Structure 1
Amino acid sequence: MAASELAIIILAIVGFGILAPAISYAQQRAEGKSEEIICHNSIAFRSLSTVNFAGQDVKVAPRLCKTIEKDVTGSRGEIKDEIAYKMARCWWMFNEGRHEKVLDNAADILQFLGWSSTDKPCFLCYDLKIDEKEIAEPSQQSFIPAEELFEYMSKKEHRQLKDWKYLDYIQYYGGPGELGILAKIEPQKHYGVVFLPRTTDRGEFLNWADTVIAGTGVVAGSGALGVASVVGAGACFATIGCGVAVVIGGATAAASAFYIGAHQLNEIQAFFDQDRPLSSVILTDLKNVEARCQKDLSGE
């Protein structure tokens, strides 16, 4: 073992010895508080617990994130609001993309978040069960279409942030982010709210979306880069075809969002295997991500 490697290990052990009481105290203080706060604070604490030695960063604070199970009940509007809020909370738990502003490349971002640069990781923030027998009112539909939820998030103000719509919050409140809705919402079904970290420095969203959607057998529409737009169910700006709405723009041209009607998806799994030029929060059927996304990052 090289002397520099040994020094790094020693420094990490010493550093953790100093920080461990603080971590333990923070965990004790967090008892009885929400797991969301514990996760958020552990991610934020990592940025304060990095020791640079011999040109290498040593992280001495673990991630403390676990999947949260929740039943969603209420009226159609209340269900939409709770899903929107949980997607925003998932983004908040992973520091609102703020690391994108200070880290230069995807490898550094993955390291900061505790993943390898060879991974295409995902974390299941929430397992949401729609615990209602029907969600038909006030329309005649027995489900909430993806585009309806997407439109809601583009217009509804964040319940904790005045003048910030849910979509805008994820796109650029902290750092550039992406929102994706990949399923319609049906009664008595489970849905996953997933955080996907950025994995590549190459490409732009439009090329990425085309690649992903073409790979799943789904057709795509898109907005113009740098222009905020919502493509409704009857409109299409096609790169491959019609059926997917994409929002590009906001305060940064990098931010984006989209929805895909669930009936158009043949192999949603392929979506998660692509390189990602932006970190994102995705809503999809739980069965699409249950086996592939991590549920417990505690101690890592």
Structure 2
Amino acid sequence: MLYLNKRGQAKFLVTIMIVIIGFIVVFAVVRMFASKAEGTQLEMQCRASVLARAKSLVNVEVGVVKVNVHVAPLLCFTQEKTIKGNEEEVMERLAELMLRCKWMFADGRYNNVLGGESGDQCFPCYTVKIDSDVDIAAWEFNEFLRTKKKKDKLLWNLLQEPVGMRVLIPKEIKGKHIYQVIYSDFSKGRWYVPVLEGEDKELNGIYLVDPNDMPKTWYRFYQKFFWGEGAYEPCKIWG
């Protein structure tokens, strides 16, 4: 965190503006080349950029206001996946994608990775087509996550380590349908007043959603697996 007098603040903000303008040009070129990556390489690239973005976040105090300035670009891109099999195989694959999405975003350790307005900022890690004739209730998928293991650990515990995560699941997961695995990043906004809003870290989330449903309906109609839901705003898709 930087503490500056008024003259120092003005000089710093001008410098930041110049850096941002140059950064926009560099960012466009970097994203153009980064978008050529595929599969695991794309996921590793995303995680590396998330870590760089979180570690390089600059906090500037202007009076009682704190301003967040992201320096590193986010090099994450939505991937398309097709999965098929029986109900258990489909649930296993969905769980793997949820875990992978969480891993890509540094396992939920950081808030305000995506930036933007205050509230939930969401990034779709995967667009998933279920190419099988299945019908899975939310309670079935929840039970699967809480009873099935991967490397001697329950899938649910893997979703909640090293920090807790909010989880949203549609009440019904249908076959021959498209869903998205989404990472939800909580942000206090580009600027905020710490003395009023506090500095506590909020939970991020992993959501399985139907892209046909509006984000404002998720908290009303989806199955929620977390506490303290009242603190969160409807998800805003990043990009």
User: Do the structures match in fold with TM over 0.5?
Assistant: yes
Q: Determine which of 173, 178, 198 is the counterpart of 1:190.
A: 178
Partner of 1:120: 120
Partner of 2:37: 31
**2:137 is equivalent to residue 145 of structure 1:** yes
Q: Determine which of 205, 229, 232 is the counterpart of 1:280.
A: 205
State the alpha-carbon separation in 1 of the partners of residues 38 and 207 from structure 2.
Answer: 28
Matches within 5 A, 1:213-292: 277-289=202-214
Partner of 1:204: none
Q: Read off the aligned partner of 2:46 and give its amino acid letter.
A: C
Q: RMSD of aligned C-alpha atoms?
A: 3.5
- Give the TM-score normalised by the residue count of structure 1: 0.54
Q: Determine which of 155, 158, 165 is the counterpart of 1:169.
A: 158
State the alpha-carbon separation in 1 of the partners of residues 116 and 182 from structure 2.
Answer: 18
CA displacement, residues 190-210 of structure 1 (integer Å, 9 cap, x when unaligned): 11222222357xxxxxxxxxx
- Higher-strand-fraction structure: 2
Per-residue deviation, 1:83: 0.6
Question: Do the aligned partners of 1:39 and 1:63 also contact (CA within 8 Å) in 2?
Answer: yes
Question: Do the aligned partners of 1:42 and 1:61 also contact (CA within 8 Å) in 2?
Answer: yes
State the alpha-carbon separation in 2 of the partners of residues 181 and 68 from structure 1.
Answer: 20
For residue 100 of structure 2, give the secondary structure of its aligned residue in structure 1. Answer: helix
Structure 1 consecutive aligned stretches of length 4 or more whose deviation exceeds 6 Å:
none
For residue 175 of structure 1, give the secondary structure of its aligned residue in structure 2. Answer: coil
Tell me: CA distance 1:183–1:128, structure 2 relative to 1, closer, same or farther (3 Å).
farther
Per-residue deviation, 1:9: 3.3
Partner of 1:82: 93
Question: Do the aligned partners of 1:12 and 1:58 also contact (CA within 8 Å) in 2?
Answer: no
For structure 2, the residue ranges without an aligned partner over 5 or more in a row are 1-8, 189-200, 217-234
Give identity over the alignment, percent. Answer: 28
Partner of 1:98: 109
Matches within 5 A, 1:196-215: 196-199=184-187
Partner of 2:12: 4
Per-residue deviation, 1:178: 1.9
State the alpha-carbon separation in 2 of the partners of residues 87 and 124 from structure 1.
Answer: 11
Per-residue deviation, 1:50: 3.6
Per-residue deviation, 1:167: 1.1
CA displacement, residues 126-152 of structure 1 (integer Å, 9 cap, x when unaligned): 2211102x23xxxxxxx1111111111
Per-residue deviation, 1:284: 2.4
For residue 61 of structure 1, give the secondary structure of its aligned residue in structure 2. Answer: coil
For residue 39 of structure 1, give the secondary structure of its aligned residue in structure 2. Answer: helix
Tell me: CA distance 1:31–1:284, structure 2 relative to 1, closer, same or farther (3 Å).
closer
Q: Read off the aligned partner of 1:36 and give its amino acid letter.
A: E
For residue 84 of structure 1, give the secondary structure of its aligned residue in structure 2. Answer: helix
The number of equivalent residue pairs is 193
For structure 1, the residue ranges without an aligned partner over 5 or more in a row are 100-108, 136-142, 201-275
Tell me: CA distance 1:7–1:277, structure 2 relative to 1, closer, same or farther (3 Å).
closer
CA displacement, residues 101-139 of structure 1 (integer Å, 9 cap, x when unaligned): xxxxxxxx22xx13234343222222211102x23xxxx
Partner of 1:154: 146
Per-residue deviation, 1:183: 3.0
Question: Do the aligned partners of 1:122 and 1:197 also contact (CA within 8 Å) in 2?
Answer: yes
Tell me: CA distance 1:289–1:124, structure 2 relative to 1, closer, same or farther (3 Å).
farther
Partner of 1:42: 49
Q: Read off the aligned partner of 1:90 and give its amino acid letter.
A: C
**2:230 is equivalent to residue 294 of structure 1:** no
